[in-house]
Amino acid sequence: MPTPEHMQAVVETYVRALNAADLDAIVALYAEDALVEDPVGSTPKRGLEEIRAFYAGSLRMKLHVELEGSVRAVANEAAFAFSVSFEVQGRKTTIRPIDVFRFDEAGRIVQMRAFFGPANISAG
């Protein structure tokens, strides 16, 4: 089982990779058969090919990502609040999701779920 320290490190690596637009580093955090549901309620992306395509689309925009508080890591899951800011056609948008990662025994992410809705999205 992954340690809380390992899960914390994965979250920090994830945030750094999003800020650096490092697609390979993001995908490397996931297990081969991982599932990404972003946002919760959307059609899940399954496997590394779909996950890579999802993040490639997100990284077309210059993202500014910051943790908002501490990572909660217990058993084989980690939850964390953060902000993602970006500009589209001169308009800045910020989304404040809570992501939950579930890890396998090797410490790779097997499931990511992003919890946010309209109340968590703001302009400016």
Q: For the chain, how many structural domains are there in total?
A: 1
38 is catalytic: yes
Average confidence score pLDDT of the chain: 97
The 10 Å CB-count burial string (b at 16+, else e) for 56-86 is eeebeeebebeeeeebbbeeeebbbbbebbb
Which tops the pLDDT comparison, 88 or 77? 77
In this structure, what CATH number is given to the domain that contains residue 75?
3.10.450.50
pTM: 0.95
Catalytic residue among 14, 30, 55, 99: 14
pLDDT surpassing 80 at residue 40: yes
- What's the whole-number mean pLDDT along residues 38-51? 98
pLDDT > 90 in the chain, percent: 96
Catalytic residue among 24, 33, 38, 104: 38
**pLDDT on residue 1:** 86
22 is catalytic: no
Which tops the pLDDT comparison, 102 or 124? 102
Domain that holds residue 107: 4-123
- What's the whole-number mean pLDDT along residues 52-80? 97
Residues 6+ positions from 31 with CB-CB distance below 8 Å:
104, 106, 108, 109, 110
